[in-house]
């Protein structure tokens, strides 16, 4: 008699936990809107140069952080290029508020199915926030930038 009761309790827990989590995520998505404006980007950083020396003190290498990065104004980017990037990166960019719930859930299902990070589900907005926050964390941790 106890074994079926434990089985029912375990099954209820297995079903109730994901359903509750999904309900909380859906309610958060629907009722907690994202801010209308993203925070201002920090000022462009000047290039940082790292030099590598051998044991004798000879210069053997130079690494430049922004070696191929040339800042340009947004109005200098052709509209067709902006549309092409949005079409390739985030098809529903204009229809979601920064978080694409369907894309995120699709990526989660594929990642679970493949048991690895097989597909990204993040939107352009989520990628920007990740990039800004990770750069900020790297600067605040005592190192200007961390290599991956």
- CA–CA dist 9, 15 (Å, integer): 10
Phi, psi of 145 (to 5 degrees): -145, 150
Report pLDDT for 54. Answer: 87
CA dihedral in degrees (119, 122, 128, 131; nearest 10)? Answer: -40
pTM here is 0.41
Report pLDDT for 78. Answer: 92
Q: Which residues of 1-15 are buried (b: 16+ CB within 10 A; e: fewer)?
A: eeeeeeeeeeeeeee
Q: 71 vs 1, which has greater pLDDT?
A: 71
Q: Return the bridge partners of 61, or none.
A: 52
Q: Which of helix, strand or coil describes residue 30?
A: helix
**Chain segment 43-87, per-residue pLDDT in tens:** 666 667 778 888 888 888 887 765 556 778 889 999 999 888 888
């Amino acid at each position: 008699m106890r074994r079926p009761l434990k089985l029912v309790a375990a099954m209820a827990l297995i079903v109730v936990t994901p359903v509750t989590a999904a309900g909380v995520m859906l309610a958060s998505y629907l009722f907690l809107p994202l801010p209308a404006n993203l925070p201002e980007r920090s000022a462009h950083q000047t290039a940082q140069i790292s030099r590598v020396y051998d044991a004798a003190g000879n210069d053997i290498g130079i690494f430049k952080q922004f070696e191929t990065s040339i800042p340009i104004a947004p109005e200098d980017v052709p509209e067709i290029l902006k549309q092409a990037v949005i079409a390739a990166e985030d098809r529903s960019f204009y229809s979601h508020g920064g978080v694409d719930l369907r894309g995120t859930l699709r990526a989660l299902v594929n990642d679970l199915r493949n048991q690895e990070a097989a597909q990204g589900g993040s939107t352009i907005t989520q990628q920007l926030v990740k990039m800004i926050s990770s750069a900020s964390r790297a600067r605040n941790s005592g190192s200007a930038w961390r290599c991956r």
